[in-house]
Amino acid sequence: MQLQNNPELGKGSIADLLNDEQAIRRAAKALRCLPFRRAFYEEVGQQALSSGELCRRHDALRLCTKTMTPERVEAHWNWLIKLGVLRREVDGQGLTHRVRLTPMGRRTVLKCEGEISRTSIMGYIHQAYTRYKPRF
Asked if residue 19 belongs to a domain, the reply is: yes
Asked if residue 1 belongs to a domain, the reply is: no
Asked if residue 38 belongs to a domain, the reply is: yes
Per-position pLDDT tens, the chain of length 136: 333 444 444 556 666 655 588 889 899 999 999 999 999 999 999 999 999 999 999 999 999 999 999 999 999 999 999 999 999 998 878 778 899 999 999 999 998 888 998 999 999 999 989 888 866 5
Asked if residue 59 belongs to a domain, the reply is: yes
Overall domain count for the chain = 1
Asked if residue 136 belongs to a domain, the reply is: no
Within 10 A of 127 (CB to CB), how many other CB atoms are there? Answer: 19
Asked if residue 82 belongs to a domain, the reply is: yes
pTM over 0.85: no
Range of the domain at 99: 7-110
Asked if residue 134 belongs to a domain, the reply is: no
Asked if residue 124 belongs to a domain, the reply is: no
Task: For residues 122 and 38, give the distance between their C-alpha atoms in angstroms, rounded to a whole number.
Answer: 22
- DSSP state at residue 57: -
CATH for 95: 1.10.10.10
Look at residue 21 and give its three-state secondary structure: helix
